[in-house]
Amino acid sequence: MARILAAVWPIVKGCITGGVFGITIADWSASYVTLHGASMHPTFDPQQAERALVDKRCLHRYHFSRGDVVVFRSPRDHRELVVKRLIALPGDWIQIPEKQEIQQIPQGRCWVEGDNAATSFDSRSYGPVSYSCCYWTQLRYWPRINCL
């Protein structure tokens, strides 16, 4: 029994080390996100489950710009990740056509909208999003490849 344990222990130790290393990379560096729904159509195809590699390191050195596609925690359900386009930054003024009002984006917040306004649940519904909810930016996406 001791011989079996001695033979298996290096493999178990390597798996545990690799798992911890992989989780650390996923938390701090990059991860994959599957994109669902039609709110970002035509940028992302709602008929296919497209995947995006999301670079998390950029938040330490990157400043958000209008037009960036960002991934953030939904203000409605913090377990859900949402992909939207950044429309306005703190201090910008935005007109909300549905409400016929103009408002200034407060410090520490940003305005996000989906590319498909008809189906998007975004800042027009829940208001400006806190930067603390914006976890990632710099999406690099790959359309789904159908194999025969």
Instruction: Report whether pLDDT(45) > 70.
Output: yes
97 upstream amide cis, omega within 30 of 0: no
Q: Report the amino acid identity of residue 126.
A: Y
Residue 118, SS3? coil
Domain spanning 31-140: CATH 3.30.1330.10 = no
| Residue in this structure with the two tokens 């306004």, named with its chain if needed | 117
Catalytic residue among 56, 84, 120, 123: 84
Instruction: Report whether pLDDT(17) > 90.
Output: no
Q: pLDDT tier at 148 (50, 70, 90 boundaries)?
A: very low
| Average of per-residue pLDDT across 77-99 | 87
Residue 85 tokens read as 């386009």
Domain extent listing, the chain = 31-140
Instruction: Report whether pLDDT(44) > 80.
Output: no
**Residue 123 is among the residues annotated as catalytic for this protein:** no
**Residue 39 is among the residues annotated as catalytic for this protein:** yes
At 11 the pLDDT is 83
At 106 the pLDDT is 94
Of residues 144, 119, 133, 138, the one with CA closest to residue 63: 138
At 146 the pLDDT is 41
Catalytic residue among 13, 31, 39, 123: 39
Model's pTM, two decimal places?
Answer: 0.70
